[in-house]
Structure 1
Amino acid sequence: MSRRFLFVLGSARLDGNTELLAREAAEQLPGEVEQEWIRLAEHPLPDFVDLRHDSDHLRPPSDTATGLLLDATLAATDIVIASPLYWYSVSGLTKRYLDYWSGWLRVPDLGFKATLAGRTLWGVTALADREPSVADPLAGTLNNSAAYMGMRFGGVLLGNGTAPGDVRKDTEALARAKTFFAQEAPLARFPHQDA
Protein backbone atom coordinates (compact mmCIF):
# COMPACT_ATOMS: atom_id res chain seq x y z
CA MET A 1 0.00 0.00 0.00
CA SER A 2 1.44 3.37 -0.96
CA ARG A 3 1.62 5.96 1.79
CA ARG A 4 -1.33 8.26 2.31
CA PHE A 5 -1.11 10.99 4.95
CA LEU A 6 -4.18 12.39 6.67
CA PHE A 7 -3.51 15.74 8.34
CA VAL A 8 -6.16 16.40 10.99
CA LEU A 9 -6.06 20.11 11.79
CA GLY A 10 -7.37 20.67 15.29
CA SER A 11 -7.04 24.43 15.60
CA ALA A 12 -9.93 26.86 15.56
CA ARG A 13 -7.55 29.36 13.92
CA LEU A 14 -6.88 29.33 10.18
CA ASP A 15 -3.17 29.10 9.29
CA GLY A 16 -2.06 29.01 12.92
CA ASN A 17 1.44 28.12 14.06
CA THR A 18 0.67 24.40 14.36
CA GLU A 19 -0.68 24.25 10.82
CA LEU A 20 2.30 26.21 9.48
CA LEU A 21 4.68 23.74 11.12
CA ALA A 22 2.70 20.74 9.81
CA ARG A 23 2.77 22.17 6.28
CA GLU A 24 6.52 22.73 6.55
CA ALA A 25 6.99 19.05 7.46
CA ALA A 26 4.56 17.91 4.74
CA GLU A 27 6.53 19.79 2.08
CA GLN A 28 9.36 17.31 2.66
CA LEU A 29 7.24 14.28 1.73
CA PRO A 30 7.95 12.70 -1.65
CA GLY A 31 5.61 13.84 -4.42
CA GLU A 32 4.00 10.41 -4.81
CA VAL A 33 2.78 10.41 -1.20
CA GLU A 34 -0.90 11.35 -1.10
CA GLN A 35 -1.94 14.03 1.36
CA GLU A 36 -5.41 14.85 2.64
CA TRP A 37 -5.94 17.85 4.90
CA ILE A 38 -9.10 18.07 7.03
CA ARG A 39 -9.76 21.11 9.19
CA LEU A 40 -11.96 19.90 12.06
CA ALA A 41 -13.46 23.39 12.52
CA GLU A 42 -14.89 23.11 8.98
CA HIS A 43 -16.35 19.66 9.65
CA PRO A 44 -17.77 19.98 13.14
CA LEU A 45 -18.56 16.70 14.80
CA PRO A 46 -21.65 16.48 16.98
CA ASP A 47 -21.13 15.82 20.67
CA PHE A 48 -19.85 12.29 21.10
CA VAL A 49 -22.40 9.99 22.72
CA ASP A 50 -20.92 6.89 24.31
CA LEU A 51 -23.06 3.97 23.14
CA ARG A 52 -20.55 1.31 24.09
CA HIS A 53 -23.14 -0.75 25.97
CA ASP A 54 -25.93 -0.22 23.47
CA SER A 55 -26.47 -2.27 20.35
CA ASP A 56 -27.02 0.37 17.66
CA HIS A 57 -23.49 1.01 16.43
CA LEU A 58 -23.88 2.03 12.82
CA ARG A 59 -21.38 3.20 10.25
CA PRO A 60 -22.01 6.92 9.71
CA PRO A 61 -23.02 7.98 6.18
CA SER A 62 -20.08 9.25 4.10
CA ASP A 63 -21.88 12.55 3.42
CA THR A 64 -21.70 13.57 7.09
CA ALA A 65 -18.74 15.06 8.97
CA THR A 66 -18.47 11.86 10.99
CA GLY A 67 -18.52 9.68 7.88
CA LEU A 68 -15.99 11.88 6.07
CA LEU A 69 -13.56 11.66 8.98
CA LEU A 70 -14.07 7.93 9.40
CA ASP A 71 -13.45 7.24 5.70
CA ALA A 72 -10.37 9.48 5.65
CA THR A 73 -9.01 7.83 8.80
CA LEU A 74 -9.47 4.33 7.42
CA ALA A 75 -7.82 5.28 4.11
CA ALA A 76 -4.71 6.77 5.74
CA THR A 77 -1.46 4.94 6.33
CA ASP A 78 -0.24 7.88 8.40
CA ILE A 79 -2.45 10.09 10.57
CA VAL A 80 -1.01 13.41 11.66
CA ILE A 81 -2.75 15.10 14.57
CA ALA A 82 -1.89 18.78 14.14
CA SER A 83 -3.29 20.32 17.30
CA PRO A 84 -2.11 23.39 19.13
CA LEU A 85 -1.30 22.83 22.78
CA TYR A 86 -4.42 23.86 24.71
CA TRP A 87 -4.24 23.48 28.47
CA TYR A 88 -1.34 21.04 28.10
CA SER A 89 -3.11 18.64 25.75
CA VAL A 90 -4.90 18.47 22.43
CA SER A 91 -7.57 20.97 21.46
CA GLY A 92 -11.24 20.28 22.13
CA LEU A 93 -11.84 19.72 18.40
CA THR A 94 -9.07 17.12 18.34
CA LYS A 95 -10.25 15.42 21.52
CA ARG A 96 -13.74 15.06 20.05
CA TYR A 97 -12.28 13.41 16.93
CA LEU A 98 -10.33 10.96 19.10
CA ASP A 99 -13.46 10.29 21.18
CA TYR A 100 -15.15 9.12 17.99
CA TRP A 101 -12.51 6.43 17.66
CA SER A 102 -14.21 4.77 20.66
CA GLY A 103 -17.48 4.57 18.76
CA TRP A 104 -15.86 3.41 15.53
CA LEU A 105 -14.25 0.52 17.43
CA ARG A 106 -17.73 -0.86 18.02
CA VAL A 107 -19.24 -0.61 14.54
CA PRO A 108 -19.84 -4.20 13.41
CA ASP A 109 -17.75 -5.42 10.47
CA LEU A 110 -15.80 -2.14 10.30
CA GLY A 111 -12.55 -3.54 11.70
CA PHE A 112 -11.43 -0.09 12.82
CA LYS A 113 -8.74 -1.29 15.22
CA ALA A 114 -7.47 -4.00 12.86
CA THR A 115 -7.28 -1.52 10.00
CA LEU A 116 -5.28 1.04 11.99
CA ALA A 117 -2.95 -1.54 13.55
CA GLY A 118 0.55 -1.12 12.16
CA ARG A 119 -0.18 2.29 10.66
CA THR A 120 1.49 5.42 12.05
CA LEU A 121 0.21 8.22 14.25
CA TRP A 122 2.18 11.49 14.35
CA GLY A 123 1.73 14.71 16.27
CA VAL A 124 2.52 18.32 15.45
CA THR A 125 1.96 21.13 17.92
CA ALA A 126 2.93 24.69 18.61
CA LEU A 127 3.20 25.89 22.17
CA ALA A 128 3.71 29.27 23.78
CA ASP A 129 6.19 28.01 26.36
CA ARG A 130 9.94 27.52 25.97
CA GLU A 131 9.80 24.42 28.18
CA PRO A 132 8.92 21.47 25.89
CA SER A 133 7.88 19.23 28.80
CA VAL A 134 4.60 21.15 29.09
CA ALA A 135 3.55 19.21 25.95
CA ASP A 136 4.12 15.84 27.64
CA PRO A 137 0.37 15.30 28.29
CA LEU A 138 -0.37 15.89 24.58
CA ALA A 139 2.39 13.47 23.56
CA GLY A 140 1.09 10.96 26.12
CA THR A 141 -2.44 11.18 24.74
CA LEU A 142 -1.22 10.45 21.22
CA ASN A 143 1.28 7.76 22.24
CA ASN A 144 -1.27 5.93 24.38
CA SER A 145 -3.93 6.16 21.68
CA ALA A 146 -1.49 4.66 19.19
CA ALA A 147 -0.45 1.94 21.65
CA TYR A 148 -4.07 0.96 22.29
CA MET A 149 -4.71 0.71 18.55
CA GLY A 150 -1.51 -1.26 17.85
CA MET A 151 -0.17 1.63 15.78
CA ARG A 152 3.30 3.02 15.35
CA PHE A 153 4.00 6.40 16.94
CA GLY A 154 6.28 8.85 15.19
CA GLY A 155 6.42 11.28 18.09
CA VAL A 156 5.49 14.94 18.23
CA LEU A 157 7.08 17.74 16.26
CA LEU A 158 7.16 20.70 18.65
CA GLY A 159 7.40 24.33 17.62
CA ASN A 160 7.24 27.53 19.57
CA GLY A 161 4.90 30.37 18.72
CA THR A 162 2.48 32.71 20.42
CA ALA A 163 1.50 35.32 17.85
CA PRO A 164 0.43 34.26 14.34
CA GLY A 165 3.43 33.20 12.27
CA ASP A 166 5.84 33.07 15.24
CA VAL A 167 6.73 29.43 14.54
CA ARG A 168 8.60 30.64 11.43
CA LYS A 169 11.15 32.15 13.86
CA ASP A 170 11.74 28.77 15.54
CA THR A 171 14.69 27.64 13.43
CA GLU A 172 15.18 24.44 15.45
CA ALA A 173 11.58 23.34 14.83
CA LEU A 174 11.85 24.17 11.14
CA ALA A 175 15.04 22.10 10.92
CA ARG A 176 13.33 19.13 12.65
CA ALA A 177 10.37 19.48 10.26
CA LYS A 178 12.67 18.73 7.32
CA THR A 179 13.25 15.14 8.50
CA PHE A 180 10.32 14.52 10.83
CA PHE A 181 8.35 12.19 8.54
CA ALA A 182 11.52 10.48 7.25
CA GLN A 183 12.11 8.65 10.53
CA GLU A 184 11.04 5.05 11.04
CA ALA A 185 8.32 5.10 13.68
CA PRO A 186 8.40 2.28 16.27
CA LEU A 187 5.32 0.50 17.54
CA ALA A 188 3.78 2.58 20.29
CA ARG A 189 4.05 1.28 23.82
CA PHE A 190 2.26 2.25 26.98
CA PRO A 191 4.66 3.84 29.51
CA HIS A 192 4.16 0.95 31.94
CA GLN A 193 5.16 -1.69 29.35
CA ASP A 194 8.65 -3.16 29.48
CA ALA A 195 10.94 -1.93 26.70
Structure 2
Amino acid sequence: MKVLVLSSSPRRDGNSSTMAHAAADGARQAGHQVDFAYLADHVQGLFRDCRTCRDLSGACTVGDDYERLLLDRVVPADGLVIATPLYWYGMSGALKTFFDRLFCYTSGSAPDGDAVAGGLTGKRVALLIACEESYRGATLGLTAQFQELTRYLHQELVGVAVGIGNSRGEVSQDPARPLEQAAELGRRLFDVRVTDYRIDTPRSNRVWESNGARPGVSR
Protein backbone atom coordinates (compact mmCIF):
# COMPACT_ATOMS: atom_id res chain seq x y z
CA MET A 1 0.00 0.00 0.00
CA LYS A 2 1.09 3.59 -0.57
CA VAL A 3 1.53 5.68 2.59
CA LEU A 4 2.17 9.41 2.61
CA VAL A 5 3.55 10.90 5.82
CA LEU A 6 2.95 14.65 6.11
CA SER A 7 5.03 16.58 8.62
CA SER A 8 3.46 20.00 9.14
CA SER A 9 5.92 21.63 11.56
CA PRO A 10 8.31 24.30 10.26
CA ARG A 11 11.00 22.50 12.30
CA ARG A 12 12.42 19.50 10.45
CA ASP A 13 14.02 18.14 13.62
CA GLY A 14 11.16 18.94 16.01
CA ASN A 15 9.08 16.57 18.08
CA SER A 16 6.18 16.08 15.65
CA SER A 17 8.67 15.44 12.84
CA THR A 18 10.43 12.88 15.04
CA MET A 19 7.09 11.12 15.54
CA ALA A 20 6.42 11.31 11.79
CA HIS A 21 9.71 9.57 10.99
CA ALA A 22 8.92 6.87 13.56
CA ALA A 23 5.58 6.23 11.85
CA ALA A 24 7.28 6.15 8.45
CA ASP A 25 9.73 3.55 9.76
CA GLY A 26 6.85 1.46 11.09
CA ALA A 27 5.04 1.59 7.76
CA ARG A 28 8.20 0.51 5.93
CA GLN A 29 8.64 -2.38 8.35
CA ALA A 30 5.14 -3.52 7.39
CA GLY A 31 6.18 -3.57 3.73
CA HIS A 32 4.34 -0.45 2.60
CA GLN A 33 5.65 2.05 0.06
CA VAL A 34 6.32 5.21 2.07
CA ASP A 35 6.55 8.79 0.84
CA PHE A 36 7.53 11.59 3.28
CA ALA A 37 6.75 15.27 2.78
CA TYR A 38 7.36 18.46 4.74
CA LEU A 39 4.42 20.80 4.21
CA ALA A 40 6.71 23.83 4.48
CA ASP A 41 8.26 22.81 1.16
CA HIS A 42 4.91 22.95 -0.62
CA VAL A 43 2.48 25.28 1.15
CA GLN A 44 3.31 28.98 1.28
CA GLY A 45 0.14 30.78 0.21
CA LEU A 46 -3.00 31.10 2.31
CA PHE A 47 -6.47 30.23 1.09
CA ARG A 48 -7.99 33.21 -0.75
CA ASP A 49 -11.29 34.27 -2.29
CA CYS A 50 -11.70 31.86 -5.20
CA ARG A 51 -13.98 34.34 -6.96
CA THR A 52 -11.04 36.70 -7.40
CA CYS A 53 -7.99 34.47 -7.76
CA ARG A 54 -9.02 31.64 -10.12
CA ASP A 55 -7.74 31.92 -13.68
CA LEU A 56 -10.02 31.79 -16.73
CA SER A 57 -10.04 27.97 -16.67
CA GLY A 58 -11.10 27.97 -13.02
CA ALA A 59 -7.72 26.78 -11.74
CA CYS A 60 -6.18 28.04 -8.50
CA THR A 61 -3.49 30.69 -9.03
CA VAL A 62 -1.76 30.61 -5.63
CA GLY A 63 1.82 30.28 -6.79
CA ASP A 64 3.35 27.52 -4.70
CA ASP A 65 3.76 23.73 -4.87
CA TYR A 66 0.46 22.82 -3.19
CA GLU A 67 -1.18 21.51 -6.34
CA ARG A 68 1.64 19.13 -7.17
CA LEU A 69 1.68 17.83 -3.59
CA LEU A 70 -2.06 17.26 -3.66
CA LEU A 71 -2.38 15.69 -7.11
CA ASP A 72 0.86 13.72 -7.30
CA ARG A 73 1.30 12.57 -3.70
CA VAL A 74 -1.81 12.98 -1.54
CA VAL A 75 -4.48 11.75 -3.94
CA PRO A 76 -2.61 8.56 -5.01
CA ALA A 77 -1.86 7.51 -1.41
CA ASP A 78 -3.87 4.71 0.20
CA GLY A 79 -3.11 5.98 3.69
CA LEU A 80 -2.03 9.25 5.32
CA VAL A 81 -0.05 9.82 8.49
CA ILE A 82 -0.35 13.47 9.49
CA ALA A 83 1.95 14.97 12.12
CA THR A 84 1.51 18.37 13.72
CA PRO A 85 2.68 20.31 16.73
CA LEU A 86 -0.10 21.68 18.90
CA TYR A 87 -0.43 25.40 18.12
CA TRP A 88 -2.94 27.30 20.25
CA TYR A 89 -4.78 24.01 20.94
CA GLY A 90 -5.14 23.28 17.25
CA MET A 91 -3.15 22.17 14.22
CA SER A 92 -0.23 24.06 12.74
CA GLY A 93 -0.94 26.96 10.40
CA ALA A 94 0.52 25.10 7.43
CA LEU A 95 -1.73 22.11 8.04
CA LYS A 96 -4.81 24.29 8.46
CA THR A 97 -3.96 25.97 5.15
CA PHE A 98 -3.55 22.55 3.54
CA PHE A 99 -7.13 21.65 4.48
CA ASP A 100 -8.51 25.13 3.72
CA ARG A 101 -7.15 24.98 0.19
CA LEU A 102 -8.80 21.65 -0.55
CA PHE A 103 -11.85 23.78 -1.31
CA CYS A 104 -10.11 25.08 -4.44
CA TYR A 105 -10.01 21.54 -5.80
CA THR A 106 -13.29 20.11 -4.52
CA SER A 107 -15.78 22.91 -5.17
CA GLY A 108 -18.22 22.60 -8.03
CA SER A 109 -16.31 25.06 -10.21
CA ALA A 110 -12.88 23.43 -9.84
CA PRO A 111 -11.32 21.70 -12.86
CA ASP A 112 -11.19 17.92 -12.25
CA GLY A 113 -12.92 18.49 -8.92
CA ASP A 114 -14.75 15.17 -9.06
CA ALA A 115 -11.52 13.27 -9.62
CA VAL A 116 -9.79 15.03 -6.74
CA ALA A 117 -12.71 14.49 -4.39
CA GLY A 118 -12.87 10.83 -5.37
CA GLY A 119 -9.14 10.45 -4.77
CA LEU A 120 -9.39 11.91 -1.29
CA THR A 121 -12.01 9.45 -0.07
CA GLY A 122 -11.46 5.98 1.32
CA LYS A 123 -8.07 6.65 2.87
CA ARG A 124 -6.87 5.38 6.24
CA VAL A 125 -5.54 8.25 8.38
CA ALA A 126 -3.40 8.41 11.52
CA LEU A 127 -2.81 11.60 13.49
CA LEU A 128 0.39 12.40 15.42
CA ILE A 129 0.44 15.35 17.82
CA ALA A 130 3.43 16.84 19.64
CA CYS A 131 2.32 18.83 22.67
CA GLU A 132 4.10 20.61 25.53
CA GLU A 133 1.27 19.97 27.99
CA SER A 134 0.43 16.65 29.57
CA TYR A 135 -3.11 17.92 30.26
CA ARG A 136 -5.28 15.49 28.31
CA GLY A 137 -7.79 18.15 27.32
CA ALA A 138 -5.16 20.12 25.40
CA THR A 139 -5.39 17.85 22.36
CA LEU A 140 -9.07 16.90 22.50
CA GLY A 141 -10.22 19.75 20.27
CA LEU A 142 -7.72 18.83 17.55
CA THR A 143 -8.63 15.16 17.79
CA ALA A 144 -12.32 16.02 17.44
CA GLN A 145 -11.55 18.21 14.43
CA PHE A 146 -9.80 15.31 12.72
CA GLN A 147 -12.73 13.04 13.48
CA GLU A 148 -14.94 15.48 11.59
CA LEU A 149 -12.44 16.08 8.77
CA THR A 150 -12.09 12.37 8.10
CA ARG A 151 -15.84 11.82 8.41
CA TYR A 152 -16.49 14.57 5.86
CA LEU A 153 -13.92 13.12 3.46
CA HIS A 154 -15.19 9.54 3.91
CA GLN A 155 -11.87 8.51 5.42
CA GLU A 156 -11.17 6.37 8.49
CA LEU A 157 -9.23 7.81 11.43
CA VAL A 158 -7.45 4.72 12.73
CA GLY A 159 -5.63 6.25 15.69
CA VAL A 160 -4.06 9.23 17.42
CA ALA A 161 -0.66 9.32 19.14
CA VAL A 162 0.28 12.23 21.41
CA GLY A 163 3.87 12.93 22.42
CA ILE A 164 4.84 15.34 25.21
CA GLY A 165 7.90 17.50 24.70
CA ASN A 166 9.15 21.00 23.93
CA SER A 167 12.86 21.05 23.10
CA ARG A 168 13.83 19.39 19.84
CA GLY A 169 13.66 15.62 20.12
CA GLU A 170 12.47 15.72 23.71
CA VAL A 171 9.45 13.62 22.79
CA SER A 172 11.76 10.59 22.87
CA GLN A 173 11.92 10.98 26.66
CA ASP A 174 8.14 10.81 27.14
CA PRO A 175 7.53 7.74 29.35
CA ALA A 176 4.33 7.01 27.41
CA ARG A 177 6.61 6.04 24.49
CA PRO A 178 4.90 8.04 21.75
CA LEU A 179 7.55 7.11 19.19
CA GLU A 180 6.63 3.46 19.66
CA GLN A 181 2.95 4.40 19.37
CA ALA A 182 3.66 6.29 16.15
CA ALA A 183 5.64 3.38 14.72
CA GLU A 184 2.81 0.99 15.61
CA LEU A 185 0.28 3.22 13.86
CA GLY A 186 2.50 3.17 10.79
CA ARG A 187 2.80 -0.60 10.90
CA ARG A 188 -0.91 -1.23 11.45
CA LEU A 189 -2.37 1.61 9.40
CA PHE A 190 -4.33 -0.80 7.21
CA ASP A 191 -5.07 -3.38 9.91
CA VAL A 192 -6.52 -1.37 12.79
CA ARG A 193 -10.19 -2.13 13.25
CA VAL A 194 -12.39 0.97 12.92
CA THR A 195 -16.08 0.81 13.82
CA ASP A 196 -18.70 3.54 13.91
CA TYR A 197 -22.00 1.86 14.67
CA ARG A 198 -25.47 3.25 14.07
CA ILE A 199 -28.66 1.88 15.60
CA ASP A 200 -29.36 -0.12 12.43
CA THR A 201 -25.81 -1.39 11.83
CA PRO A 202 -25.76 -5.19 11.31
CA ARG A 203 -23.26 -6.75 13.70
CA SER A 204 -22.63 -9.92 15.64
CA ASN A 205 -22.31 -10.09 19.40
CA ARG A 206 -18.55 -10.69 19.10
CA VAL A 207 -15.99 -7.93 18.77
CA TRP A 208 -13.01 -10.22 18.18
CA GLU A 209 -13.40 -13.52 16.34
CA SER A 210 -11.69 -16.50 18.01
CA ASN A 211 -10.13 -17.62 14.71
CA GLY A 212 -8.12 -14.42 14.44
CA ALA A 213 -10.36 -12.69 11.92
CA ARG A 214 -11.10 -9.06 12.62
CA PRO A 215 -14.76 -8.28 11.84
CA GLY A 216 -15.39 -4.81 10.55
CA VAL A 217 -11.90 -4.16 9.24
CA SER A 218 -12.08 -1.94 6.18
CA ARG A 219 -9.42 -2.76 3.60
Confirm whether residue 174 of structure 1 aligns to residue 179 of structure 2.
Answer: yes
Q: 1:185 to 1:78 in 2, by over 3 A?
A: farther
1:103 aligns with 2:101: no
Which contiguous aligned blocks of 4+ residues in structure 1 show a shift greater than 4 angstroms?
52-56
Residue 35 (structure 2) pairs with residue 36 (structure 1): yes
1:95 is paired with a residue whose SS is helix
Number of residue-to-residue matches in the alignment:
189
Q: Within 5 Å, give how 1:73-152 maps onto structure 2.
A: 73-106=74-107, 107-110=110-113, 111-152=115-156
Name the CA distance, whole Å, in 1 between partners of 2:138 and 2:132.
Answer: 10
Give, in angstroms, the shift of residue 73 of structure 1: 1.0
- What residue is the counterpart of 2:69 in the other structure? 69
Distance 1:124 1:52, change over 3 A: farther
1:159 is displaced (CA, Å) by: 0.5
Aligned runs of 1:12-23 on 2, under 5 Å? Answer: 12-23=10-21
Return the offset for 1:52: 7.1
Structure 1 unaligned regions, length at least 5: none
**Partner letter of residue 42 of structure 1?**
D
What is the CA distance between 1:185 and its match in structure 2? 5.2
1:109/1:175 Cα in 2 relative to 1: closer, same or farther (>3 Å)?
Answer: closer
- Counterpart code for 1:29: A
Q: Which of the two has higher C-alpha Rg?
A: 2
Q: Which amino acid aligns with 1:101?
A: L
Letter in 2 for 1:49: R
Q: Can you give the 5+ residue segments of structure 2 that lack an aligned partner in the other structure?
A: 202-219
Give the secondary structure class of the aligned counterpart of 2:50.
coil
Which whole-Å deviations, capped at 9, do the CAs of 1:73-129 have from their partners, x for residues lacking one?
111111222110000110001100111111111223342222222111221111000
TM-score with structure 2 setting the length: 0.75
Residue type of the alignment partner of 2:192: E
In 2 relative to 1, CA 187–118 (structure 1 residues): closer, same or farther, beyond 3 Å?
Answer: farther
